[in-house]
């Protein structure tokens, strides 16, 4: 291998290493890595197969070149095909003529109408645990060689790090959401009339967010903001929170402090500061007559505008000590009558659309 190719491979490895340690989404890191690997080895196609640890099968997580959508329908049993053998043995292979290799699985080519001629395939390992395999197919010029193998193994190691980081992040995120939900449910337990309120508000909010096209990052913020939107009620006395009649003006003023309390609580937790806008502002009104800051229109964060509709609908359709629940149709009418007054009209329209689709 000439010096120019070596330098090109080294540059790609450095780029991939940077991606692994970046803030990119895990799927994006994997896809970019496979594309880079396929280009670098001058191959027609490349793929990352991961092990489904429940079934033991290999599935195509990322595929570039060939028929990408159809190849993702293929699953390999443990030990099946060249990829299955590499995953089972944990050893890399270069095969110059797959038709002469008894391990070759024709099913993938038959499914995709792609013609595999030669292949380089290496295990993706993390701490001696096989996570899957990385493969490049059909060298455009010449043959796969030891230099290609060295680079491919190094790339597979970077992919393994990315997968492990992704798995750890997912576990931490799930634990984080679990703790947040448990905290919200603990607050709900003070008021038997609000059982399940947090989960319903979260589900309504996410449905609205997806309908209006929020980014994945914004949906994550929305989810946690909705879970924690009433955390400030921990600072409201029981005689006010659980009062069986309507609140008098003084009591209502104290109840209006719960969004501010919630923001103060979250301000002490560095990892949760980003949900403060949704928590603090979910009782603001579109006409500026809400609380605590009397924000108006689009001054109100979009996440808070979404939670406001979801929260109000659930409150209206839930029995309270001082009134019976409204029917869905009555609650829909209240939302519509208050478009541009209490609620963002676009958010109301999105909610009505997705709610009817959920039925």
Contact at 8 Å (CB) between 48 and 132?
A: yes
Same structural domain, 185 and 327: yes
Same structural domain, 336 and 217: yes
Same structural domain, 93 and 195: no
User: Tell me, what CATH number does 82's domain have?
Assistant: 3.30.450.40
Q: Would you give per-residue pLDDT tens digits along the chain (359 residues)?
A: 465 665 665 666 566 566 555 555 667 777 888 888 888 888 999 999 999 988 999 999 988 887 777 888 899 998 999 999 999 999 999 999 999 999 999 998 998 889 999 999 999 998 889 999 999 999 998 999 998 898 889 888 888 888 888 788 788 888 888 888 888 888 888 776 677 899 999 999 999 999 999 998 999 999 999 999 999 999 999 899 888 888 999 999 999 999 999 999 999 988 889 999 999 999 999 999 999 999 999 999 999 999 999 999 999 999 887 788 999 999 999 999 999 999 999 999 999 999 988 77
Contact at 8 Å (CB) between 309 and 317?
A: no
Domain total in the chain: 2
Same structural domain, 184 and 322: yes
pTM assigned to the model: 0.66
Same structural domain, 155 and 192: no
How far is the C-alpha of 233 from the C-alpha of 230, rounded, in Å? Answer: 6
Same structural domain, 215 and 300: yes
User: Tell me, what CATH number does 194's domain have?
Assistant: 1.10.3210.10
Same structural domain, 354 and 270: yes
Q: Where are the beta strands (DSSP E) in the chain?
A: 43-51, 58-64, 75-76, 93-95, 119-126, 129-139
């Amino acid at each position: 291998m000439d010096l120019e190719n070596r330098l090109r491979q080294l540059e790609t490895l450095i780029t991939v290493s940077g991606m692994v340690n970046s803030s990119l989404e895990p799927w994006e890191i994997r896809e970019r890595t496979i594309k880079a690997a396929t280009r670098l080895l001058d191959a027609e196609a490349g793929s990352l197969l991961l092990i489904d640890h429940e079934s033991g099968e290999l599935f195509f997580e990322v595929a570039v070149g060939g028929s990408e959508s159809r190849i993702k329908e293929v699953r390999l049993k443990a030990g099946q095909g060249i990829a299955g053998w590499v995953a089972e043995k944990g050893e890399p292979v270069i095969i110059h003529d797959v038709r002469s290799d008894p391990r070759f699985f024709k099913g993938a080519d038959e499914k995709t109408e792609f013609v595999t001629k030669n292949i380089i395939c290496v295990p993706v390992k993390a701490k001696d645990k096989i996570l899957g395999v990385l493969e490049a197919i059909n060298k455009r010029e010449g043959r796969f060689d030891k230099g290609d193998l060295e680079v491919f193994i190094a790339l597979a190691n970077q992919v393994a790090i990315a997968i492990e980081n992704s798995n750890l992040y997912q576990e931490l995120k799930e634990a984080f959401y679990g703790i947040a939900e448990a905290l919200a449910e603990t607050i709900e337990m003070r008021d038997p009339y609000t059982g399940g309120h947090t989960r319903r508000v979260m589900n309504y909010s996410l449905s609205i967010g997806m309908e209006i096209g929020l980014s994945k990052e914004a949906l994550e913020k929305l989810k946690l903001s909705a879970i924690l939107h009433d955390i400030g009620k921990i600072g409201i006395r029981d005689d006010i929170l659980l009062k069986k009649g309507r609140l008098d003006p003084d009591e209502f003023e104290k109840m209006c402090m719960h969004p501010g309390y919630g923001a103060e609580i979250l301000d002490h937790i560095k990892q949760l500061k980003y949900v403060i806008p949704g928590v603090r502002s979910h009782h603001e009104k579109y006409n500026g007559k809400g609380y605590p800051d009397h924000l108006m229109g689009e001054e109100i964060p979009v996440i808070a505008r979404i939670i406001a509709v979801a929260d109000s609908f659930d409150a209206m359709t839930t029995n309270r000590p001082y009134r019976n629940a409204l029917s869905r149709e009555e609650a829909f009418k209240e939302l519509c009558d208050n478009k541009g007054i209490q609620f963002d009209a676009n958010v109301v329209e999105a909610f009505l659309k997705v709610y009817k689709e959920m039925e």
